[in-house]
Protein backbone atom coordinates (compact mmCIF):
# COMPACT_ATOMS: atom_id res chain seq x y z
CA UNK A 1 0.00 0.00 0.00
CA UNK A 2 1.61 3.24 -1.14
CA UNK A 3 1.16 6.07 1.35
CA UNK A 4 -0.91 8.89 -0.08
CA UNK A 5 -1.38 10.65 3.23
CA UNK A 6 1.19 10.09 5.92
CA UNK A 7 1.07 11.24 9.53
CA UNK A 8 4.38 10.98 11.33
CA UNK A 9 4.44 11.28 15.11
CA UNK A 10 1.82 14.00 15.37
CA UNK A 11 1.63 15.59 18.81
CA UNK A 12 -0.68 18.43 19.70
CA UNK A 13 -0.80 20.46 22.88
CA UNK A 14 -3.71 22.76 23.64
CA UNK A 15 -4.07 25.23 26.48
CA UNK A 16 -6.70 23.83 28.82
CA UNK A 17 -7.05 26.30 31.67
CA UNK A 18 -3.58 27.79 32.18
CA UNK A 19 -1.59 24.70 31.36
CA UNK A 20 -0.84 23.23 27.96
CA UNK A 21 -2.29 19.73 27.84
CA UNK A 22 -1.22 17.05 25.40
CA UNK A 23 -4.32 16.26 23.34
CA UNK A 24 -2.65 14.10 20.67
CA UNK A 25 0.37 11.92 21.29
CA UNK A 26 2.58 10.33 18.63
CA UNK A 27 -0.13 9.76 16.07
CA UNK A 28 1.31 7.94 13.08
CA UNK A 29 -0.59 6.25 10.27
CA UNK A 30 -0.79 6.13 6.52
CA UNK A 31 -3.76 6.28 4.19
CA UNK A 32 -3.64 4.91 0.64
CA UNK A 33 -5.19 6.75 -2.31
CA UNK A 34 -8.88 5.89 -2.59
CA UNK A 35 -9.02 4.36 0.87
CA UNK A 36 -11.92 4.86 3.30
CA UNK A 37 -10.57 4.95 6.83
CA UNK A 38 -12.69 5.41 9.94
CA UNK A 39 -11.39 6.85 13.19
CA UNK A 40 -13.31 6.03 16.33
CA UNK A 41 -12.90 7.03 19.92
CA UNK A 42 -14.86 8.28 22.87
CA UNK A 43 -15.86 11.91 23.27
CA UNK A 44 -12.88 14.13 24.01
CA UNK A 45 -10.19 11.71 22.78
CA UNK A 46 -9.04 14.18 20.13
CA UNK A 47 -10.81 13.03 16.95
CA UNK A 48 -11.82 16.52 15.85
CA UNK A 49 -8.43 17.95 16.77
CA UNK A 50 -6.76 15.27 14.67
CA UNK A 51 -9.00 15.92 11.68
CA UNK A 52 -8.53 19.69 11.98
CA UNK A 53 -4.78 19.16 12.11
CA UNK A 54 -4.89 17.14 8.89
CA UNK A 55 -7.10 19.87 7.39
CA UNK A 56 -4.53 22.48 8.42
CA UNK A 57 -7.04 24.31 10.62
CA UNK A 58 -4.86 23.45 13.64
CA UNK A 59 -1.08 23.31 13.60
CA UNK A 60 0.54 20.28 15.16
CA UNK A 61 2.94 20.92 18.03
CA UNK A 62 5.36 18.43 16.52
CA UNK A 63 5.41 15.83 13.79
CA UNK A 64 4.76 15.96 10.09
CA UNK A 65 1.88 15.40 7.70
CA UNK A 66 2.68 14.53 4.10
CA UNK A 67 0.27 14.41 1.18
CA UNK A 68 1.72 12.74 -1.92
CA UNK A 69 5.11 13.15 -0.26
CA UNK A 70 4.73 16.93 0.25
CA UNK A 71 4.64 18.37 3.77
CA UNK A 72 1.35 20.10 4.56
CA UNK A 73 1.46 23.50 6.20
CA UNK A 74 -1.96 25.05 6.64
CA UNK A 75 -5.28 24.55 4.92
CA UNK A 76 -5.65 23.90 1.19
CA UNK A 77 -8.16 23.05 -1.51
CA UNK A 78 -6.69 19.54 -1.62
CA UNK A 79 -8.54 18.71 1.63
CA UNK A 80 -12.30 19.11 2.02
CA UNK A 81 -13.78 19.04 5.51
CA UNK A 82 -17.34 18.13 6.42
CA UNK A 83 -18.57 18.88 9.91
CA UNK A 84 -21.26 17.41 12.14
CA UNK A 85 -23.56 20.26 11.17
CA UNK A 86 -23.84 21.20 7.47
CA UNK A 87 -22.61 24.82 7.84
CA UNK A 88 -24.29 25.88 4.58
CA UNK A 89 -24.47 29.60 3.89
CA UNK A 90 -28.11 30.48 4.65
CA UNK A 91 -28.08 33.44 2.25
CA UNK A 92 -27.19 31.30 -0.77
CA UNK A 93 -29.34 28.82 -2.66
CA UNK A 94 -28.21 25.22 -2.73
CA UNK A 95 -26.58 25.55 -6.13
CA UNK A 96 -24.74 28.69 -5.06
CA UNK A 97 -23.59 27.00 -1.85
CA UNK A 98 -22.14 24.12 -3.86
CA UNK A 99 -20.60 26.47 -6.43
CA UNK A 100 -19.09 28.70 -3.74
CA UNK A 101 -15.56 27.26 -3.74
CA UNK A 102 -15.41 27.27 -7.54
CA UNK A 103 -16.01 30.99 -8.01
CA UNK A 104 -12.99 32.69 -9.50
CA UNK A 105 -11.46 29.31 -10.39
CA UNK A 106 -13.56 27.99 -13.26
CA UNK A 107 -15.96 29.43 -15.85
CA UNK A 108 -19.66 29.86 -15.12
CA UNK A 109 -20.49 27.05 -17.56
CA UNK A 110 -18.03 24.68 -15.86
CA UNK A 111 -19.46 25.65 -12.46
CA UNK A 112 -22.96 24.89 -13.65
CA UNK A 113 -21.88 21.51 -15.01
CA UNK A 114 -20.12 20.54 -11.76
CA UNK A 115 -23.00 21.69 -9.57
CA UNK A 116 -25.62 19.93 -11.69
CA UNK A 117 -23.60 16.70 -11.61
CA UNK A 118 -23.11 16.87 -7.85
CA UNK A 119 -26.76 17.66 -7.15
CA UNK A 120 -27.61 14.54 -9.13
CA UNK A 121 -25.04 12.44 -7.26
CA UNK A 122 -26.31 13.48 -3.82
CA UNK A 123 -29.96 13.13 -4.85
CA UNK A 124 -30.86 16.82 -4.69
CA UNK A 125 -31.29 17.72 -8.35
CA UNK A 126 -34.76 19.16 -7.74
CA UNK A 127 -33.48 21.44 -4.98
CA UNK A 128 -30.96 23.58 -6.86
CA UNK A 129 -32.90 26.76 -6.13
CA UNK A 130 -33.86 25.81 -2.57
CA UNK A 131 -32.53 27.71 0.45
CA UNK A 132 -30.69 25.79 3.18
CA UNK A 133 -33.53 26.53 5.61
CA UNK A 134 -35.89 24.60 3.35
CA UNK A 135 -33.90 21.36 3.62
CA UNK A 136 -34.13 18.54 6.14
CA UNK A 137 -31.03 17.72 8.20
CA UNK A 138 -30.15 14.78 5.95
CA UNK A 139 -30.60 16.83 2.78
CA UNK A 140 -28.49 19.65 4.18
CA UNK A 141 -25.72 17.21 5.06
CA UNK A 142 -25.82 15.77 1.52
CA UNK A 143 -25.51 19.34 0.23
CA UNK A 144 -22.50 19.89 2.50
CA UNK A 145 -20.86 16.78 1.04
CA UNK A 146 -21.58 18.06 -2.49
CA UNK A 147 -20.07 21.44 -1.60
CA UNK A 148 -16.91 19.79 -0.28
CA UNK A 149 -16.65 17.62 -3.40
CA UNK A 150 -17.14 20.56 -5.78
CA UNK A 151 -13.52 21.66 -5.64
CA UNK A 152 -12.44 18.05 -6.23
CA UNK A 153 -10.25 17.73 -3.12
CA UNK A 154 -7.76 14.88 -2.91
CA UNK A 155 -9.14 13.90 0.49
CA UNK A 156 -12.46 14.24 2.25
CA UNK A 157 -12.25 14.70 6.01
CA UNK A 158 -15.60 13.92 7.62
CA UNK A 159 -16.14 14.82 11.28
CA UNK A 160 -19.11 12.80 12.54
CA UNK A 161 -21.17 13.94 9.55
CA UNK A 162 -24.22 11.84 10.39
CA UNK A 163 -24.16 12.10 14.18
CA UNK A 164 -26.91 14.71 14.40
CA UNK A 165 -29.35 12.72 12.22
CA UNK A 166 -32.05 10.28 13.29
CA UNK A 167 -31.21 6.58 13.02
CA UNK A 168 -33.13 5.95 9.76
CA UNK A 169 -31.71 8.98 7.98
CA UNK A 170 -28.24 8.13 9.28
CA UNK A 171 -28.45 4.63 7.90
CA UNK A 172 -29.68 5.93 4.51
CA UNK A 173 -26.88 8.50 4.34
CA UNK A 174 -24.29 5.88 5.26
CA UNK A 175 -25.49 3.81 2.31
CA UNK A 176 -25.50 6.82 -0.02
CA UNK A 177 -22.07 7.82 1.19
CA UNK A 178 -20.75 4.32 0.44
CA UNK A 179 -22.21 4.52 -3.09
CA UNK A 180 -20.63 7.91 -3.56
CA UNK A 181 -17.27 6.69 -2.31
CA UNK A 182 -17.38 3.60 -4.52
CA UNK A 183 -18.22 5.78 -7.54
CA UNK A 184 -15.57 8.41 -6.90
CA UNK A 185 -12.97 6.41 -4.96
CA UNK A 186 -12.14 9.62 -3.15
CA UNK A 187 -9.75 9.13 -0.24
CA UNK A 188 -11.84 9.58 2.91
CA UNK A 189 -11.10 9.86 6.61
CA UNK A 190 -14.35 9.49 8.47
CA UNK A 191 -14.51 10.24 12.18
CA UNK A 192 -17.28 8.71 14.24
CA UNK A 193 -17.99 7.62 17.78
CA UNK A 194 -20.44 5.02 16.47
CA UNK A 195 -18.91 1.52 16.27
CA UNK A 196 -21.59 0.29 13.88
CA UNK A 197 -20.96 3.19 11.51
CA UNK A 198 -17.24 2.42 11.49
CA UNK A 199 -18.00 -1.26 10.83
CA UNK A 200 -20.42 -0.36 8.03
CA UNK A 201 -18.01 1.98 6.27
CA UNK A 202 -14.36 1.48 7.11
CA UNK A 203 -11.80 -0.47 5.13
CA UNK A 204 -9.66 0.16 8.18
CA UNK A 205 -10.62 1.41 11.60
CA UNK A 206 -8.22 3.46 13.70
CA UNK A 207 -9.05 3.36 17.39
CA UNK A 208 -8.11 6.26 19.62
CA UNK A 209 -7.98 6.39 23.39
CA UNK A 210 -7.89 9.60 25.38
CA UNK A 211 -5.67 11.50 27.80
CA UNK A 212 -3.69 11.93 25.69
CA UNK A 213 -5.35 11.01 22.38
CA UNK A 214 -3.35 8.12 20.99
CA UNK A 215 -3.78 5.17 18.65
CA UNK A 216 -4.36 1.90 20.46
CA UNK A 217 -5.14 -0.26 17.46
CA UNK A 218 -5.70 -0.21 13.71
CA UNK A 219 -8.01 -2.89 12.38
CA UNK A 220 -8.24 -3.87 8.71
CA UNK A 221 -11.69 -4.84 7.48
CA UNK A 222 -11.31 -6.30 4.01
CA UNK A 223 -15.01 -7.17 3.77
CA UNK A 224 -17.20 -6.42 0.73
CA UNK A 225 -20.01 -3.87 0.78
CA UNK A 226 -22.81 -3.66 1.69
CA UNK A 227 -21.98 -5.36 4.98
CA UNK A 228 -24.41 -7.28 7.07
CA UNK A 229 -24.30 -6.83 10.85
CA UNK A 230 -24.94 -10.58 10.98
CA UNK A 231 -21.67 -11.37 9.17
CA UNK A 232 -19.68 -13.51 11.66
CA UNK A 233 -16.42 -11.74 10.75
CA UNK A 234 -18.00 -8.33 11.36
CA UNK A 235 -19.43 -9.55 14.64
CA UNK A 236 -16.05 -10.75 15.79
CA UNK A 237 -14.42 -7.40 14.89
CA UNK A 238 -17.22 -5.64 16.78
CA UNK A 239 -16.47 -7.78 19.83
CA UNK A 240 -12.81 -6.84 19.58
CA UNK A 241 -13.69 -3.15 19.23
CA UNK A 242 -16.04 -3.28 22.20
CA UNK A 243 -13.32 -4.86 24.32
CA UNK A 244 -11.08 -1.91 23.48
CA UNK A 245 -13.63 0.49 24.91
CA UNK A 246 -14.24 -1.25 28.23
CA UNK A 247 -13.00 1.05 31.00
N1 LIG B 1 -9.66 25.04 21.09
C2 LIG B 1 -9.38 24.26 22.15
N3 LIG B 1 -8.73 24.77 23.21
C4 LIG B 1 -8.43 24.00 24.27
N5 LIG B 1 -8.73 22.70 24.35
C6 LIG B 1 -9.38 22.13 23.34
C7 LIG B 1 -9.75 22.87 22.17
N8 LIG B 1 -10.39 22.04 21.31
C9 LIG B 1 -10.42 20.83 21.92
N10 LIG B 1 -9.82 20.89 23.12
C11 LIG B 1 -9.63 19.77 24.06
O12 LIG B 1 -8.97 18.74 23.35
C13 LIG B 1 -9.49 17.49 23.72
C14 LIG B 1 -9.96 16.75 22.48
O15 LIG B 1 -11.09 17.44 21.93
P16 LIG B 1 -11.72 17.00 20.53
O17 LIG B 1 -12.85 17.91 20.25
O18 LIG B 1 -10.64 16.88 19.53
O19 LIG B 1 -12.26 15.53 20.91
P20 LIG B 1 -13.30 14.62 20.14
O21 LIG B 1 -12.79 13.24 20.25
O22 LIG B 1 -13.53 15.15 18.77
O23 LIG B 1 -14.61 14.81 21.01
P24 LIG B 1 -16.16 14.71 20.57
O25 LIG B 1 -16.39 13.30 20.11
O26 LIG B 1 -16.88 15.02 21.85
O27 LIG B 1 -16.39 15.73 19.50
C28 LIG B 1 -10.58 17.73 24.76
O29 LIG B 1 -10.02 17.53 26.04
C30 LIG B 1 -10.93 19.18 24.56
O31 LIG B 1 -11.27 19.77 25.80
User: Phi then psi for 48, rounded to 5 degrees?
Assistant: -65, -40
How many Å lie between the centroid of ligand 1 and the Cα of residue 50?
Answer: 9
d(CA 5, CA 27): 13
- The finding on whether 57 has its CB within 6 A of some atom of ligand 1 is no
* 138 vs 142: CA distance, rounded Å: 6
pTM over 0.90: yes
Does residue 18 have its Cβ closer than 6 Å to ligand 1? no
Query: Which residue CA neighbors atom 30 of ligand 1 most closely?
Result: 44
Fold (CATH) for 1-72+156-162+188-246? Rossmann fold (3.40.50)
| Mutation to probe ligand 1, out of 10, 48, 163 (largest number of atoms < 8 A from CB) | 48
- In ligand 1, the atom with minimum distance to the C-alpha of 52 is 18
| Torsions phi, psi for 184 (to 5 deg) | -105, -25
> In 3-state terms, what secondary structure has residue 159?
strand
**How far apart are the C-alpha atoms of 98 and 115, rounded to whole Å?**
6
Nearest CA to ligand 1 atom 27: 43
Answer yes or no: is the C-beta of 12 below 6 A from any ligand 1 atom: no
ipTM: 0.95
Instruction: Indicate the pairing of strand 187-192 with strand 214-220.
Output: unpaired
Concatenating the DSSP letter of every residue in 9-62 gives: EEEEEEEETTEEEEEEEEEEEEE-TT-EEEEE--TTSSHHHHHHHHHTSS--SE
Alpha-carbon distance of 43 to 35, in angstroms, equals 25
Q: Which of 163, 214, 215, 213 is nearest to 205 (CA)?
A: 215
pLDDT, tens digit (0-9, with 9 covering 90-100), for 20-69: 999 999 999 999 999 999 999 999 999 999 999 999 999 999 999 999 99
Per residue in 113-169, pLDDT (tens digit) is 999 999 998 889 999 999 999 999 999 999 999 999 999 999 999 999 998 888 888
- The finding on whether 187 has its CB within 6 A of some atom of ligand 1 is no
Amino acid sequence: MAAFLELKDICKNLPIGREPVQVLKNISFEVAAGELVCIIGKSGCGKTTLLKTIAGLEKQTSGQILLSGQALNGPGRDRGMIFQEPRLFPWLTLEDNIAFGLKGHVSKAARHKTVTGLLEIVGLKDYAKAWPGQLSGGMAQRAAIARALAVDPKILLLDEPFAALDALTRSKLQKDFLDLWQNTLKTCIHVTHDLDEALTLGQRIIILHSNPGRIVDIISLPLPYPRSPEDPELKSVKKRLLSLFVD
